[in-house]
Amino acid sequence: MEKDKLSQIVSLCRRRGFIFGGSELYGGLSSFWDYGPLGARTKKKIKDIWWHRYVLSRDDIVGLDSAIIMHSLVFVASGHLEGFNDYLIECPKCKKRFRIDKIEKVSRNEYICPECATTIDALKNKPKKFNLMLKTNVSASEDSPFDAYLRPETAQGIFTNFLNILNVTHKKLPFGIAQIGKAFRNEVTTGSFIFRMKEFDQMEIEYFVKPGEADKFYEYWVEERYRFYIDIMGIKKSNLRKREHSKDELAHYARACTDIEYNFPFGWSELEGIANRTDYDLRRHSQVSKKDLTYFDEEAKTRFFPYVIEPSSGVDRTFFAVICDAYHEEDVKGRKRVVLRLKPELAPYTVAIFPLLKKNSEIVELAKKIFYDIKDKIPAFYDDTAAIGKLYRRQDEIGTPFCITVDVDSLTDKKVTLRNRDTMEQERIDTSRVLEILREKLKS
Ligand code: GAP
């Protein structure tokens, strides 16, 4: 059933233009995805809402947009070149390779092949280290290659700019630096649609604090980010949970980490991690770059490396969770209705406008006038390519909260029909008050 839900969602995303396979024209490139016209709208809204909440409306966090390709020494310092590895084991029978931490372990050294159920002896088939970094070279000529890497997290651009930002903003602790952008990992385990991609978007904050205040701010960010998914993204509380990492699960840089997990159709999986990264990154970048990245506390007259609390979220996973959570199927008069109950703030369009009769030029003219009057104020869509029932169903499926239909009566009574996506109730409203009424409804 849940597997079925996943395939329905993937099919909807493909069919309606939310998401397409990457390089599809040439047979596709596994684990790369493109956002179509509707997906690009919702994805941008997620990023804008996050940016507005954490950068524009707070004075303790500043924004950054740093380069994707970075010097190899950045990742020597961060530990990614040494430690950002998956361990792969090969099945002696089917020859497929799997991440050892993702397959069933049956005894101290034995695992079960998820493909052909063979027992794999890890002593005979030794797991091999596989680094997830994507390398490129940025040389000016082919004779002098210069290795550089595509960042595996946006965080490193924040740490390498810590001093620049401190010098220009004169911020006092606690303060944060936020960044939204691409990250790249040569993931081994892929599949499950956009859950694990090789190119994806992150929304990260590195929140710098006094070491003694790290626990307090860690708790604060876990709660703030958990509430964000419920209150702002509209995800049901019953589909979210917090999960604290055990010590042996922690990343090489973290002292504590809590994942916010979503109940995806394939099971509970990570949406975001909130970590206490201690002073690991600033200390390491100081050592490797030989630049002093300490902070001077004027009150206490002391110098120290700030601790970092990092709420690190994936845009694509947030998008995926939002769509899964909004997806509903219901029976309406013996027919299946698919409706995306997206929060209006996240729906690709807020309103769709239709003429009931596309051959009646007066109706079409009035419908288009309403559309052009509001389209730069509210995300709006005009459609006259099918019968009204079909037009409504199409908008339900992409989550448009309101539809407006112009009919013959509209020409005389100066009213149009407003239909609500969730209740399917219809009401007549004054043509001159369309924008005002939509805004009132959005507020409530
Ligand atoms: N800076 C810390 C960091 O990158 P992470 O847990 O590896 O931590 C943070 O990644 C978030 O980025 C994840 O919770 C997830 O939402 C997203 N993410 C990580 N790898 C991803 C992938 N391969 N595809 C899509 N999203 C991914």
For ligand 1, atom 22, which residue shows the shortest CA distance? 196
- Cβ atoms of 324 and 265 within 8 Å: the answer is yes
Please report, rounded to a whole number, the percentage of residues in the chain having pLDDT higher than 70: 99
Distance (Å) of CA 350 to CA 78, 109, 330, 421: 43, 55, 22, 10
| Ligand 1 proximity of 263 Cβ (cutoff 6 Å) | no
* 347-382 pLDDT, tens digit each: 999 999 999 999 999 999 999 999 999 999 999 999
How long a stretch of residues is the chain?
Answer: 444
Ligand 1 geometric centre to CA of 381 (Å): 34
CA distances from 243 to 32, 98, 150, 258, 270 (A): 28, 25, 29, 5, 9
Looking at the predicted structure, is the pLDDT value of residue 237 above 90? yes
C-alpha of residue 402 to centroid of ligand 1, in Å: 34
153 lines ligand 1 (CB under 6 A): yes
Q: What is the DSSP string of 367-382?
A: HHHHHHHHTTTS-EEE
Return the pLDDT at 244. 96
pLDDT above 90 (res 248): no
On the question of pLDDT at 141 being above 80, the answer is no
Give the mean pLDDT of the chain: 95
Distance of CA 232 to the CA centre of its chain: 14
pLDDT at 75: 96
Across the range 97-126, mean pLDDT stands at 90
For residue 277, report the distance from its CA to the centre of ligand 1, in Å. Answer: 15
Of the given ranges (110-119, 350-359, 407-416), which has the lowest mean pLDDT? Answer: 110-119
What DSSP character marks residue 211?
A: G
Q: How confident is the model at residue 111 (pLDDT cuts 50, 70, 90)?
A: very high
CA 113 to chain centre: 31
pLDDT tens, 47-68?
Answer: 999 999 999 999 999 999 999 9
* Burial class (CB within 10 angstroms; exposed 0-12, middle 13-18, buried 19+) of 390: exposed
200 Cα to the center of ligand 1, angstroms: 8
Q: Is residue 222 over pLDDT 80?
A: yes
Give the per-residue pLDDT at 444: 83
| Ligand 1 pocket mutation pick from 189, 260, 270 by most atoms within 8 angstroms of CB | 270
Put the strands of the sheet holding 128-131 in their side by side order: 97-99, 85-90, 128-131
Q: What is the pTM of this model?
A: 0.94
Question: pLDDT (tens digit, 9 = 90+) per residue, 12-35?
Answer: 999 999 999 999 999 999 999 999
Distance (Å, rounded) from C-alpha 384 to C-alpha 354?
A: 6
Return the ligand 1 atom nearest residue 315 CA. Answer: 16
Q: How far is 351 from 374, CA to CA, in rounded Å?
A: 10
Residue position matching structure tokens 């209150």: 231
Higher pLDDT, 130 or 428: 428
Q: How confident is the model at residue 130 (pLDDT cuts 50, 70, 90)?
A: confident
Tokens (6 digits) for 232: 């702002």
Using DSSP's 3-state secondary structure scheme, residue 297 falls into strand
Q: Give the H or E element holding residue 398.
A: helix 388-398
Return the pLDDT at 3. 65
Q: What is the pLDDT of residue 65?
A: 98
Does residue 261's CB lie within 6 angstroms of at least one atom of ligand 1? no
Closest ligand 1 atom to 185 CA: 23
Q: Looking at ligand 1, which residue's alpha carbon is closest to its atom 21?
A: 196
Strands (E) across 6-82 are located at 19-21, 33-35, 61-64, 69-71
In the predicted structure, residue 216 carries a pLDDT above the cut 90: yes
The predicted model gives 406-433 an average pLDDT of 97
CA 262/CA 267 separation, integer angstroms: 8
Give the residue-averaged pLDDT of 406-419. 97
Residue 200, ligand 1, Cβ within 6 A: yes
Q: Is 279 in the pocket of ligand 1 (CB under 6 A)?
A: no
What integer pLDDT is reported at residue 188 of this predicted model? 83
pLDDT at 2 over 70: no
